[in-house]
Amino acid sequence: MSEKSLLKNTVKHVDITSFDSTPIINSYRNMSFSSREIANAADILEKMVKDKDSTNILTLAGSTIAAGCKKIYSDMMQSNMIDVIVSTGANIIDMDFFEALGFRHYQGTPEVDDAKLREMYIDRIYDTFIDEAELQTCDKIILDIADSLESRPYSSREFIGQMGKYLQDKNVAPDSIVRLAYEKKIPIFCPAFSDSSAGFGLVMHQQNRIDKEQSYLTIDSVADFRELTYIKRKAKQSGLFMIGGGVPKNFAQDTVVCAELLGDGVPMHKYAVQITVADVRDGACSSSTLSEAQSWGKVDRTLSQMVFAEATTVLPLIVSYVYHKKDWKQRTPKKWTNIL
């Protein structure tokens, strides 16, 4: 077992524009159990896209970008299906931005000696491998971007915008989620931004500045919450398409409560789809259902669907269906970044 043999087969991103899942979704609609739930989820996402007043929020947890779903999300952005992204830092930095720099994720196996992987500087995400040296290069580029900016507080949305500008200036990765967000004015929020390669780069930035007794850049997570809540306050309607759970899901849902505390009687999120494998029995936030969210006044259950499935298995079918319905062609981009 060598590093070269392990980092050989790259993960390839599924292309939902290359196949039409409509016949599958239509057949699922007449079945039962998870099949019918998947069809209903596709119908709700289609309604979100068709509703020109709806601001559609994509939330990302887990590692679906590393697993081959990056092009699904970039195609949704290119097709104006979504207006806002709330994500873990890992999806945006360690996966999308990492690949935008020319690096790749590799097909691996969980049946491996992890101690040997550590000796070879290979990181593992279940059955996916990453070259740690390349990941540290990503960390250092985050450091370079931070060093180039004014020393002041930034929301994660602002900093990610600078990352998109960096890719545009380098004229690389036109299909990168980070670059597309910058160019299409789609704000990306990472409320736990430091829990990623961005955190390592920003710690290096701050420590270097502290050692030189200089001021440094910080990330303001409260600004993230305020900005996302502002979008919710200004949006006529809103919908959530949630992959996994965790902080991104709760962060996006909490905007309704925050807006209420600020004195605005905003409506609950009108549309909601969540794809997750989390077990509801543990009582954790990641596994809280959309029904539970209604008790908090966050989500209207009328047009909502829980799909209990591993996301990479059902996400391509759902989004391909909506893509080939073509209602996104009538949708005008919201460009929320312009008002933040």
**What distance in Å separates the CA atoms of residue 95 and residue 91, rounded to the nearest whole number?**
5
Phi-psi region of 250 (alpha: psi -120 to 50; beta: other; left: phi over 0): alpha
Decide if 76 contacts 102 (C-beta within 8 A): no
32: CB partners within 8 A, 6+ apart: none
Any domain includes 149 = yes
**Tokens coding 133:** 């040296």
**Tokens coding 46:** 């289609």
> Domain containing 250: what range?
14-331
Any domain includes 204 = yes
Decide if 255 contacts 84 (C-beta within 8 A): no
- DSSP E strands in the chain: the ranges are 54-60, 84-87, 106-107, 122-125, 128-131, 153-154, 188-189, 218-219, 237-243, 269-276, 299-308
| DSSP secondary structure code for residue 300 in this structure | E
Any domain includes 340 = no
pLDDT value at residue 300: 86
Number of domains in the chain: 1
Any domain includes 294 = yes
Q: Write down the catalytic residue from 70, 298, 325, 334.
A: 298
pLDDT value at residue 287: 60
pLDDT value at residue 149: 98
pLDDT value at residue 292: 76
**What distance in Å separates the CA atoms of residue 260 and residue 49, rounded to the nearest whole number?**
26
pLDDT value at residue 233: 97
Over the chain (340 residues), the average pLDDT of each successive run of 10 is: 91 98 98 98 98 98 97 98 97 98 98 96 97 97 98 98 98 98 98 94 98 98 97 97 94 95 93 90 66 78 94 98 98 96
Decide if 112 contacts 85 (C-beta within 8 A): no
118: CB partners within 8 A, 6+ apart: none
pLDDT value at residue 167: 98
- The question of whether 298 is a catalytic residue gets the answer yes
Any domain includes 296 = yes
CATH number of the domain at 197, please: 3.40.910.10
